[in-house]
Each structure stands twice: as structure tokens, then as C-alpha cells.
Amino acid sequence: MLKELLKSYRIVQYGLKVRTQVLFGAFFGIFGIAMEVVTRGKNIIGSFYIILAGMFIYQLIISSDMSTLVQSSPHKKKIQCVYPLISIIPWIYVCITILAVINGYFAGTSSEAYIDICRMTAQLSIILFLSIIYFPLSYKYFVVATVALFVTVWPAMLIVATDNFISAKFTDYGVCVVILYLSATIGLIISFFVSRLVYKKDLSKIAFMGLIKRK
């Protein structure tokens, strides 16, 4: 597993606009942490940015498929179906742990903050789960996958945001964090099978339009 993980990171150099994408990932991580601190863990945008920072490497590896060297590689299928996923596994769990520590600290400041952060963590579990499944689909069917993501994520978040739902299901921050880890794990497993199902489909030009224009 470690050998495959190292291989996935070596492929990054063949991605489109590597330096630009790495800078974007770093910006998302720093901005997300700053927002977490400023909002005292109550804004889901900061949390999502931190998680997203750990997922930028997925796009770097997928974009390498446009390289002629990768196109002729016998590992082409792994480059689309295996390496992108295993490359983000450690980063996702590291980001979740960072969030758990930051938000755990703020959750202990007051009972109101505790409930708000429990609600936010439950919502983040939904976003993270759907986003991980969205990734392999978005690079094949960008428009359809993006519309489907918004159609599913917002109703689910609104349901979780209701006081009755929180009171009945998510009043323990520790449980919410465990659910966040489980959401990521289950999402990664489903994403692996989804990527294999759509492997033979052409990559979406729309998904890489900005990067291709800059290249």
C-alpha cells in the first residue's frame, strides 16, 4: 500500500499546472483554518475549505491523464481509478483530525457553541460523503454530476440543520466526529467502485477547461 501511495505522488508531476494547483490547495487550507478561528468553528465553509485542501491532489493526478506519457502507460487505469483515491486518503483523515481538534476546543466554550458545532459537523459529514463520490463522476460528466451534487446536498443539509433533528440524533460531539470519519471512509469505498464504472468514458473537457487554457 505504501509503495502504491508513493507512486501516486510521483505521478503528480505530470498533472496540469502543478504549481498553480498546489498554491490553490495551500490557500484553501490556510483560509479554512483562519475562518474556523474567526468564526469559532461555527461556519461550515471554513471546515469544508480545510477538507477541500486535502483533496486537490486528486485533480492533479487525474489531470495527468492528458499527458501523452500517461496515455501510453500500462498503469493508465490505476492512474484514473486507484492512485487519485489512495493519494487523498491520508490527507482527508489528517484534515478531519485538525477539524476535530479545532472545533472540539470551541465546542467546549458554551452549550450554544456545542450544539452549533455538532450541527455543522453533521452537515459536513454529508458534504464530505457526497463530494468524495462526486469527484470520479465530475471528471467524466462534469455538468450532470455538479447539478446532482447540489440537488442532493442542500435538502440533506437543511434537514440536518433543524433543531428537532439535532436534538434527536446529534447531541454528542464525539459521535459527530466518528460519523465524519465514517462518512469519509464509506465515500472513498463507493468512489473507488464508481471510478471503475466510468473508467472507459472520456474525460470531460469542461472539468479541465481553465487549466487547459492556462497551459
Find all residues with CB under 8 Å of 128, minimum gap 6, and list them: 51, 92, 180, 183, 184, 187
> Could you give the CA distance from residue 110 to residue 124 in angstroms, rounded to a whole number?
21
CA quadruple 193, 135, 119, 31: dihedral, nearest 10: 140
Which is more confident, 13 or 194? 194
Residue 197 reports pLDDT greater than 60: yes
Reference 63, options 93, 90, 26, 24; nearest CA is 24
Cα atoms found within 13 Å of the Cα of residue 81, Cβ hemisphere only:
15
CB neighbourhood size of 139 (10 A): 25
> Could you give the CA distance from residue 7 to residue 69 in angstroms, rounded to a whole number?
15
Q: What is the pLDDT of residues 68-88, one digit of tens each?
A: 556 666 677 888 888 889 989
- What is the pLDDT, as a whole number, of residue 112? 81
- What is the pLDDT, as a whole number, of residue 215? 47
Q: What is the pLDDT of residues 39-71, one digit of tens each?
A: 888 778 888 888 888 888 888 888 777 665 566
Residue 116 reports pLDDT greater than 90: no
